Chain A
């Protein structure tokens, strides 16, 4: 009996139990969905059952059309992230280091945060066209702010004591950047990146919904116009997986880079 108790509380057993619980919850949710859509008398067109969505997914995968749209959206999201993060990091570091620069830029930075990207997305698409460029731009803009803020906060939070230590050892600016500022600011910076990665997906979809040739947002529009509701759901789920995947990658990088932090 004692043995049993111990086994129950073994961490790996607990973990396995949690996984089971999650799968169970997911299964129940799908079952509810299936039952509701079949028995509620709602049109398949409004709420297609999960099995219909699944078969639509299988078809879309088989004829390959889905991959083009996923590829386009993923490229926009990733390129936008790269551009946005690059600018945000460079500018964030400069602002963190210079009060004067902060004074000069802060009105614009605050204003830029206040602009709802969703509202200016149509303008950006109008200016920069239906292609990927306008979407990359929207993604970059939406990613920019959280990463900028977290870079500033992260760099400002570097304890003075580390600068003292480095100065007493006559470290160069470059050494201070590489050996103190980057590692010290990393936890907060990665927090910003995690938010940015998810936002980037939203940015791409918004841009594509407004006007585009390809992409998952475009697919949603196409499917909707063609009354292909299961396909709309397929696209939505692909977007969820995309966002989760990106989030997961950042979380994994975080876990690897921040091993030194206290486990909670």
Chain B
């Protein structure tokens, strides 16, 4: 079965202007993502992962190369930023509801949907809390809920689980897998965790030190649904070793 890619990235390069000739952040990045693909980017700090996501979200123009979308139409995007990026003047409920407000969904409907999302990320009872009163992990869960609420086609996740404790993180992995499976989304996620990438992704792309280039494109052919036990299978171990070697 071949599906047209929802996203095509060709020979992408990014150079940030600076005093000595420019800072080369990304170099010659090419890849495709099919609808329903779950792609993880692994790479050392400063390898341009965040930069890549910003380009995919059209927040930044590449210096060279191009990005094509299916039917030349920019998909609806849900983005989780590396910092939770919540608006301090909005309650938890109102932060999550924001994308629906922007889409002009009526208030009653929006509140209903938001409440469901709050249940999903386990923040019941905190609907009316201010962001300043949340822990880092809770704030990040609000950000994740906000990225999912408007049912986007393309999810861009920048280390969304980095600040969560191990238990919550693994619960969020399961939830994300479930949502991804149920809602047919394309996910592009940046992470530092090999386990996380193998648990979630169909493909893991490893970036080199700056300037970031694709060093390894690893297909993760582990059966789904994946649960905890998968980590103790020999195949998981083999894939993990490959990734570790690529990262050095």
Contacts and interface: CB of A to CB of B under 8 A. Distances in A.
Given A161-B83, A164-B54, A165-B85, A179 B132 contact: no
B64 interface: no
B57 A168 contact: yes
B161 interface: no
Question: B79, B87, B131 — which one has the most chain A CB atoms within 10 A of its CB?
Answer: B87
A184 B90 CA distance: 11
A169 B77 CA distance: 6
B87 A183 contact: yes
B81 A171 contact: no
Nearest to B60: A164
Contacts of A170: 74, 77, 102
A251 interface: no
Nearest to B76: A170
B130 A168 contact: no
B141 to A, nearest CB: 16
A164 B59 contact: yes
A169 B99 contact: yes
Given A161-B83, A161-B85, A169 B130 contact: no
Query: Interface SS of chain B: helix, strand, loop or mixed?
Result: loop
B89 interface: yes
B98 A179 contact: yes
B5 to A, nearest CB: 21
Contacts of A164: 54, 57, 59, 81, 85
A262 B131 CA distance: 10
Nearest to A160: B59
Contacts of B98: 169, 179
Interface in A136-179: 161-162, 164-171, 175, 179
Interface residues on B, range: 20 to 34
Given A165-B79, A180-B87, A262 B132 contact: yes
Contacts of B58: 167-168
A174 to B, nearest CB: 11
A261 interface: yes
Interface in B43-100: 54, 57-59, 74, 77, 79, 81, 83, 85, 87-90, 98-99
Question: B54, B79, B89, B101 — which one has the most chain A CB atoms within 10 A of its CB?
Answer: B89
B193 to A, nearest CB: 23
A260 interface: yes
Nearest to A178: B101
A168 B77 contact: yes
Contact of A183 (B85, B89, B99): B89
15 contacts: A161-B81, A164-B54, A164-B85, A165-B85, A166-B102, A167-B59, A168-B57, A169-B77, A169-B98, A179-B98, A179-B101, A184-B87, A184-B89, A260-B90, A262-B132
Interface of B: 54, 57-59, 74, 77, 79, 81, 83, 85, 87-90, 98-99, 101-102, 130-132, 150, 156
Given A167-B58, A183-B87, A260-B130, 19 more contacts: A164-B54, A164-B59, A164-B85, A167-B57, A168-B57, A168-B58, A168-B79, A169-B77, A169-B99, A169-B150, A170-B74, A175-B102, A179-B101, A180-B87, A183-B89, A184-B87, A184-B89, A260-B89, A260-B132
